[in-house]
Structure 1
Amino acid sequence: MMMRSRTAPLQSLHALKWDLGLPDNFEKVLIPRYQDHFSFVKAPSGVSALRLAGWHEEFAVSALERCNEGGEMGDEYRQFKRGQTTLAFPRGYGAQKKVRAWMEEFQKLPYISPYEDSRHIDPNSELMEKRAVGVLHEFLSLTIHKKTKRNYLRSLREELNIPHKFTRLFTRYPGIFYLSLKCKTTTVALKEGYRRGKLVNPHPLVRIRQKFYHVMRTGLLYRGKDTNLIPREDVLLKDSENSVEDK
């Protein structure tokens, strides 16, 4: 729904399977169940793609809008819906006066929903930059771990209608994004999604993955400590193979 042509290449979606919580063969087991939502097409480049079959207005609400809709920001959100104010991204930009003043001006710019058509906006304007920040904010909000690799975003850059050098947005707005360069991989995370290094509202799938990781790690630790912990079936099978070789 955020794509310019309402279409996403299957190759790009496959790279994002882990981040979006999709099954390995989602195009075979998941998409056929929702034919009123999606359809398979050939993109102009010739690659297979997934196209939105029908627009559902109830899904065209960004995470920033939902966050402001309730709680303490309820009144401000109602003013935003009436066109009387704008929505602000999470703050946290240091103590420098110049930076604070610049960010206050940025926050006052109109909030453009990532689900709105942006082709009429000047691509070199500050408004388009805020719209790009909103798109990246929403995309990361949709991921399971509130983060993804920069290269995965690059493959969707044109469809998301974000600038060619979009990486600078992550360093330009450190109160919104966190950029990691660990393991020679550039990963971008949504800063508000974490508190003291842990997810604020973990997705149920995150808990399942953590349990699986714990089981696998515990098994590796035991295997390294004592060969007597190898299952009895494996020992019997190995003895049987040795006896055959002796004959």
Structure 2
Amino acid sequence: MDNLLRTERDMENELESKRVDVVRKLLMMSANKRIPLSKIYHNRLLFGIPEDFRDRVAAYPDYFRVVIEDDGKRVLELVNWDSSLAVSALEKEFMVDEDKVKRAFKFPMKHGKALDLDMEDERKLNILNTLPLVSPYSDGSKLDLWTLEAEKYRVGIIHEFLSLTLEKRAYIHNIVEFKEEFSLTKHTYQMLLKQPRTFYVAGTQMNWCVFLKDAYGEDGELINKDPQVVFNEKLYKYADMQELESDCTVG
């Protein structure tokens, strides 16, 4: 067990710069480039952020600033914008496989059926409605809430949020905890259901889990596993073995 704990500490140190970039990207996605520290801490396991990250941010004054508000709330603010980080996973994928991204989402035109289009023309119209995508690193708070552009933005925000997580999935309550920061609405769940090509929603009411479909293979396994995920799997296996040995001893 000591070896596992030592391995975890070493891994956290090796991955620190990567985790720092994740926090920077979350701040860059937020409306005012600031997020309460408590929200990041509460959701830290989603992103592989170490438990002591609130102490670690002090080592990055060029990236972060902690502000204490009048009510005592500690808020993490972005110090410098980095254009190299303001590229979403979707935008990177678009440069590699444009057609795949075109098929990923569907924003049907309202009253489109009344136009009496054939399937090919309807497909082209849907692509026109889908593209261009709206970057999650743009300021969504300035968009008219119920426009197509705003919905594209919110879909892009959630896609990028999930892309930054270790397992490319999150519970709906994890996502809506950032409702104010990411300009989300109370209709987030319904919005996700409208994009079944990209998001898979599973679970029970009020405890839905949202998956990025493309991140998983047909066997239900993550295609690309973060080192933290691999370590966690080893840890779970170790715990299962310990429990089994304990049961055998009791028996």
Cα distance in 2 for residues equivalent to 1:148 and 1:3: 18
1:44 CA displacement: 7.5
2:246 corresponds in structure 1 to 223
1:175 counterpart SS class = coil
Unaligned runs of 5+ residues in structure 1 are 78-86, 229-247
Residue in 2 that maps onto 1:131: 153
Match of 1:69 in 2: 95
- 2:102 aligned partner: 88
- 1:188 offset after TM fit, Å? 1.2
The offset of 1:3, in angstroms, is: 0.2
What is the percent sequence identity of the aligned residues? 27
For residues 184 and 169 of structure 1, the distance between their equivalents in structure 2, rounded to whole angstroms, comes to: 15
List gaps (5 residues or longer) in structure 2: 1-27, 107-118
**Offset of residue 42 of structure 1:** 3.3
Tell me if the contact between 1:39 and 1:53 (Cα under 8 Å) persists in the aligned partners.
Answer: yes
Deviations 1:24-63 (A, max 9, x none): 12101x2112111011113577521111111111100000
The alignment's TM-score, normalised by the length of structure 2, stands at 0.75
1:155 counterpart (177, 185, 188): 177
Deviation for aligned residue 1:138 = 0.4
> How far is the alpha carbon of 1:121 from its aligned partner?
2.4
Q: Distance in 1 between matches of 2:196 and 2:156?
A: 14
Contact 1:7 1:52 (8 Å CA) reproduced: yes
Q: Kindly tell me: are residues 157 and 23 of structure 1, through their superposed partners in 2, closer, same or farther at Cα, counting changes over 3 Å?
A: same
Pairing 1:1-247 to 2, within 5 Å after superposition: 1-28=28-55, 30-42=56-68, 47-70=73-96, 72-73=97-98, 88=102, 90=104, 101=123, 104-105=126-127, 108-181=130-203, 185-196=207-218, 197-227=220-250
What is the CA distance between 1:69 and its match in structure 2?
Answer: 2.3
- Quick one: structure 1 residues 218 and 170, their matched pair in 2 at CA, closer, same or farther if it must change by over 3 Å? same
CA contact (8 A) 2:166 2:228 kept: yes
Q: Alpha-carbon deviations, 1:1-28, whole Å to 9, x = none?
A: 0000101111211121110101112101
1:167 Cα deviation (Å)?
1.2
Larger Rg: 1
TM-score for both structures, normalised by structure 1: 0.76
SS at match of 1:59: coil
- Once superposed, what is the RMSD of the aligned Cα atoms? 2.8
Q: How many residues align?
A: 211
Instruction: Extract structure 1 runs of 4+ deviating beyond 6 A.
Output: none
Instruction: Give SS of 1:110's match.
Output: coil
